[in-house]
Amino acid sequence: MKAPSYLVFLLPALLLCSCGNFEKKWEASVAEYRAGQVSSPEGPWIGTWTTTTNGHTGDLRAIVSESKKKPGELDFHYHATWGKFFSGGYEVGFPAKKSGSRTLVDGEKSLGAFGTFGHKATITRSSFDATYSSKKGDLGTFEMDRP
């Protein structure tokens, strides 16, 4: 069955709206961080992701904020690239706890058709290092610093 022609225009429009929303949040987050209005672990992060099981890699940005819905959790708004032409984002919340000057994050989230995503991170004032896994067998890392 052939997809209706309006879907050819609708899907890119939805993806661009999503990216545009992230870009606005990103610019505001970077400005707040540079003005000293944000303290670790919150604010903008930039780096790369690598899936160690297959060698795939790409650029990664994240905006971290304290959860307004669940005390003790952090919200992560990620935006990643795949190859030269694909990018997208998603938002997840995970439990977090302070340990000295570090914040430790450990949680799982169902991403529907993409499976369950596990995330363990150590965040300091200047670095965000995480491992991730999926029930589908993917294993990888996030390595980010401040912009």
- Indicate the Cα dihedral angle 68, 70, 71, 75, nearest 10°: -60
pLDDT of residue 19: 56
Peptide bond into 71 cis (omega under 30): no
| Tokens (6 digits) for 96 | 């977090």
Q: Write out pLDDT tens, residues 45-84.
A: 999 999 999 999 999 999 999 999 999 999 999 999 988 7
| Tokens (6 digits) for 70 | 């669940």
Query: What is the residue range of 93's domain?
Result: 5-145
pLDDT of residue 34: 96
∠ CA(96), CA(25), CA(45), 5° rounding?
A: 50
> What mean pLDDT do residues 15-29 have?
77
What percent of the chain shows pLDDT beyond 90? 66
| d(C-alpha 143, C-alpha 47), whole Å | 6
| Tokens (6 digits) for 88 | 């997208």
Q: What are phi and psi of 56, to 5 degrees?
A: -70, 145
Weakest-pLDDT range from 16-20, 77-81, 86-90, 143-147:
16-20
As for how many domains the chain has, the answer is: 1
Q: Write out pLDDT tens, residues 90-104.
A: 899 999 999 999 999
| d(C-alpha 37, C-alpha 53), whole Å | 38
Mean pLDDT of the chain: 86
CATH of the domain at 41: 2.40.128
